[in-house]
Amino acid sequence: MISAPAEKAKKDAGFHAANLVKDGMILGLGTGSTTYHAMVRLSARRKEEHLSIAGVPTSLQTAIRARDLGIPLTTLDDHPTIDMAIDGADQVDPILRLIKGRGAALTREKVVAEAAGRLVIVVDEGKLVTNLTGVVPVEVIPFAITPVMKRITGMGADPLIREGNAKDGPVITDNGNYILDCSFSGIVNPGELEDTITAIPGVVECGLFCNYTGKTTVIIGGEKGCRVVDGRKNQEI
């Protein structure tokens, strides 16, 4: 159960991100509870300011929520480049590298991050870390699960197939794949690890996001309001 101050911090961060959105923008809509707050604020701004926007959802959950909130949806086929993606994260390090994928949406989230001109990450302070550490989610096609687990075990990690909460057996992603939660005792070079994992045949994507720091803005909700860390050089926030 998340505490009331933590929930307020998430809401503040989400609202702050939604307030950066300008009329006419095509957005990436991330997945998770903090992004949801941004979507609630976007929905209100649409009504109050007649903001014209459309979003590419990164999961079925986000698509359903956007429809409920009256946020128009679009696709990467119609908009292969998008103005801004708003998304959450599980860990953020001091140079804005991320671990994502608690919600098993990491592949679509990375595709949308790649397509976005700007990546706005919304978190509470509990997500900030000195070093990325611990569990890296990896999406794997079912056909390749055993050899991929062997490869990742050989890299010194302990991979576990993610299981459902309200379903027996493995979590199946929106793309029809498995998630391996890979526990690393220490991550010395996150960028190198991301490259190594994504190069394994059968891996679709991994939850390390190390290549977007130069277009990332992180909005951190805390007890005293929001703090903004901008990885973009000489740009207005």
Residue number with CB closer to ligand 5RP (65 or 100)? 100
DSSP designation for 202 = T
Helix boundaries (H) for the chain: 4-19, 33-49, 60-69, 106-115, 145-154, 190-198
Residue number with CB closer to ligand 5RP (120 or 157)? 120
Residue number with CB closer to ligand 5RP (1 or 236)? 1
The C-alpha atoms of residue 182 and residue 133 are separated, in whole angstroms, by 11
3-state secondary structure of 82: strand
- Give min distance, CB of 233 to ligand 5RP, in A: 25
> What does the per-residue mask of binding to ligand 5RP show for 5-44, with x meaning CB under 6 A?
-------------------------xxxxx----------
- Asked if 87 is part of the footprint of ligand 5RP (rule: CB under 6 A), the reply reads yes
3-state secondary structure of 13: helix
The C-alpha atoms of residue 83 and residue 117 are separated, in whole angstroms, by 5
- Asked if 179 is part of the footprint of ligand 5RP (rule: CB under 6 A), the reply reads no
- Give min distance, CB of 162 to ligand 5RP, in A: 11
Residue of 109, 139, 194, 205 with catalytic role: 109
Judged by CB under 6 A, which of 28, 57, 103, 190 binds ligand 5RP? 103
**Nearest residue to 72 via CA among 88, 87, 103, 51:** 51
